[in-house]
Amino acid sequence: MAPSIQRLIKEKKYPFIFSFLVLLICVSVLLLNNNRYPYLSTTDLENSQSISSSPEKKSNPQISNPNKDKPDFDNSDSNEISNGVESNWEVCKGPMAADFIPCLDNMKAVKALKSRRHMEHRERYCPKPSPRCLVPLPQGYKIPVPWPRSRDMVRFIRRLLRSGGLKPLIWFDNGPHPKLVEYKKDQNWVLKSGDYLVFPGGGTQFKEGVTKYIEFIEKAHVVEIVKLLHFSMYWFLSKKQKTVGAGLFITCQTLPIIEWGKHTRVILDVGCGVASFGGYLLEKGVIAMSFAPKDEHEAQIQFALERGIPATLSVIGTKRLTFPDNVYDLIHCARCRVHWDADGGKPLLELNRILRPGGFFVWSATPVYRDDERDQNVWNAMVAVTESICWKVVAKTVDSSGIGLVIYQKPFSNSCYEERKENNPPLCDRRDKQNSSWYVPLGSCLPHLPVAGLDDEHNWPTPWPERLSSKPSSLSTKPSAEEIFYEDTKHWSALVSDVYLDSLTINWLSIRNVMDMNAGYGGGESREWAYRMDALGAFKWKRSISWKTSHFQSCSSQENSVELTPVPYMDQLFAAALIGQPLWVMNVVPVDVPDTLSVIFDRGLIGIYHDWCEALNTYPRTYDLLHSSFLFRNLTQRCDIVDVAVEMDRILRPGGWVLVRDTTEMISKISPILRSLHWDITLYKEQFLVGKKVFWRPTDGESQT
């Protein structure tokens, strides 16, 4: 080539020489960057020599620990496990990037909708492929106000709030959305006070505060019971019954009773606003799943989660809610703006599907207590639908502020369905798959109710807190199911005590919102740790709550006292770690594994179905800890593990923790991805990965981590 170049120089063909050199440089650059992609890929990670799981190669010293004399942990930041892993992480762009929810903010899909009549524009439309940008932090973002100091920082707030489990204020910069403050300023939803957003416990229907509203619901129910007691007494006396007392005792035992935190434990709050209703019920031993759509009431669910109240984004539109059949003890709607009688009553039929037999629906809205023509038309339509599905009115009343409500009860058995004059809505086919709700259209039929067992009248769960450790009615009838259930309980009880709380580097005092990403039980993958934390999230350790209602003196001369003490397998080590720091758990059952969500609800806990190949319906930075147990081995067969890591980064708060229990192979794949995000990574005994998210976000000038 040298003679050729010399000849070209002699012949003064400089343009050709220049072009040739430029081409040579371009080819060299392409060769050097051949393995550098805009995003990480699983293939790259598997080919990386430092994390290879191939049997021909040595195990990485970070993962394996053959020398028992060495410590169990290895948290070296310079470990070679991340060698060869390169990424061009980018920050999501746009004015709303800090609140980006991929499956709810897919504007291209929303604009293509042919109709928005049934709230289609508030439903899920996940982009393909999943976006891999990192959600930026709002300017001025801070670690959330810690519990319980948030309760005590503003003196007048302490006077307004009585809840021991509710966070009354958050940093404004963590959710900088003043629109709701202005829009709801007359209803005391949320106020701005200096650097904080304050939640005084008001609401559209809570004219006298949410605490009085909660008492109003229970008292309204008691009033109806007293009326029935008086009627029963009159009937017995008129029939000259000699055993009046016995008759009254029987009446008391068979009347429906809400009884917060004992008979009624798991509830759903529809169109929850900032979730004050569910938040204030925590002190009563009630765990509420609050939900609302992402709509013009900007960030209401974000506010709820920032306060530490269980909540999720959802809407009753054209698809079923992601819950099993027959699981909620009570469903609540206070001016939730859902047209229950629409489309032949499909929205109400969806509530009927997920409401437990004998469960209650509390509806507080203007059609209940106003007499104008519009409201009365809505009320008449509601009467027609509720009667057609055999719901009975157990209370209807108005409080001193002029706000009214009605309480319905779902039947316990199929007998009413079978005795209807018109089979409308019809009973569902018994062959229909139970609990099917992931991207399933709303139904127009009544599911058959489960038949009660011989030892369990009406299939209603054991009162809380015994409910947590009792055998769930939805547990499989296979001979081995019960044995596996209790064995897993023991297994997870020991694991939490010996490893999660005692041996890992997690600061449990900083944790409030917890998500178990793979919450199925059985096969060594139960979630006893989640159950235990949920129990303490509902009430304070050894807190004694006295419940007294004078109306019940005719049934019992003694005060009804409920001692909320830990269930037997809650050892003191766990309780000591969480004193003053109650937390709650969102249990997620992936759609591609055996369904155990009904069992979770039967135990008095909450959860949802989800596919981790898609983004979750929640705002960024809403959870303090994510836990997964052998989740990734199934996911890698359907989607890229990097997409799951990006979603974990989106929903976890800076300073939050991830706890992964998995095989060495899976941990070796997820570790370098989390390290590339600048997370602090610690490994324990080959199978436990603890990661802590930091404040790092890539800048415009920074591409390679």
Predicted pLDDT at 199: 67
Position 201 scores a pLDDT of: 56
SS3 615: coil
Backbone phi and psi for residue 191, each to the nearest 5 degrees, phi listed first? -125, 150
Token representation of residue 156: 């007048």
Please tell me the predicted confidence (pLDDT) of residue 508: 86
Measured in residues, the chain has a length of 705
For residue 413, report the phi and psi dihedrals to the nearest 5 degrees. -140, 175
Let me know: does 357 contact 326? Beta carbons within 8 Å: yes
Q: If you average pLDDT over residues 623-635, what whole number do you get? A: 92
pLDDT value at residue 187: 55
Name the CATH topology of 466-520+570-693.
Answer: Rossmann fold (3.40.50)
* 389-400: average pLDDT: 93
What spatial distance separates the first Cα and last Cα of the chain, rounded to whole Å?
Answer: 40
Distances in whole angstroms, Cα of residue 353 to Cα of each of 270, 321, 377, 417, 675: 15, 10, 25, 14, 44
The closest alpha carbon to 66, from 691, 702, 704, 686, belongs to 686
At residue 500 the predicted structure's pLDDT band, cuts being 50, 70 and 90, is confident
- Res 470: pLDDT: 86
- Give the list of residues 6+ apart from residue 287 with CB closer than 8 angstroms, or none: 265, 266, 267, 310, 534, 537, 538, 584, 604, 605, 606
pLDDT for 192: 60
pLDDT of residue 196: 67
Q: Which residue from 183, 204, 220, 424 is spatially nearest to 296, judged by alpha carbons?
A: 183
pLDDT score, position 200:
62
Question: What percent of the chain is predicted at pLDDT more than 70?
Answer: 63
Lowest mean pLDDT among 50-59, 389-398, 439-448: 50-59
Q: Which CATH class is domain 210-220+255-419?
A: alpha beta
DSSP, res 75:
-
Each residue's pLDDT tens digit, 113-171: 999 999 999 999 999 999 999 999 988 888 776 644 443 333 334 444 444 444 455 54
Mean pLDDT of 182-188: 54
Residue 643: per-residue pLDDT: 96
| Identical fold between 210-220+255-419 and 466-520+570-693 | yes
Residue pair 263/329 in contact by the 8 Å Cβ criterion: yes
Q: How big is the CA angle at 561 (ends 556 and 562), to the nearest 5 degrees?
A: 135
- What's the Cα-to-Cα distance from 368 to each of 105, 224, 334, 377, rounded to whole Å? 35, 16, 11, 11
Could you give the 3-state DSSP secondary structure of residue 675? helix
Specify the higher pLDDT residue, 594 or 30: 594
Q: Give how far Cα 597 sits from Cα of 29, 264, 316, 483, 603, Å.
A: 53, 18, 20, 18, 10
What pLDDT is stored for residue 515 in this prediction?
A: 94
**Rounded to an integer, what distance in angstroms lies between the CA atom of residue 377 and that of residue 311?**
32
pLDDT of residue 302: 85
CB proximity list for 362: less than 8 A, separation 6 or greater? 217, 330, 331, 332, 333, 405, 406, 407
Rank 118-127, 256-265, 273-282 by mean pLDDT and report only the highest: 118-127
Q: What is the pLDDT of residue 7?
A: 56
Indicate if the pLDDT at residue 339 is higher than 90.
yes
Burial classification of residue 160, based on how many CB atoms lie within 10 Å of its CB (0-12 exposed, 13-18 middle, 19 or more buried): middle
pLDDT for res 182: 53
Distance CA 451, CA 436 (A): 19
Average pLDDT, the chain: 74
pLDDT confidence bin for 233, thresholds 50/70/90: very low
More confident residue, 49 or 388: 388
pTM for the predicted model, two decimal places: 0.76
Q: Band the pLDDT of 335: cuts 50, 70, 90.
A: confident
Q: What angle do CA 475, 481, 484 make, to 5 degrees?
A: 120
Q: Report which of 288, 350, 314, 315 is spatially closest to residue 586, judged by C-alpha positions.
A: 288
* Confidence category of residue 297, pLDDT binned at 50, 70, 90: low
559-581: pLDDT as tens digits: 333 333 333 223 322 222 232 34
Domain ranges of the chain: 153-198, 210-220+255-419, 466-520+570-693
Residue 380, pLDDT above cutoff 60? yes
Ranking 83-87, 147-151, 182-186, 422-426 by mean pLDDT, the lowest is 147-151
pLDDT in tens, 401-417: 888 999 999 999 999 99
Task: Please report the pLDDT score of residue 155 as a whole number.
Answer: 33
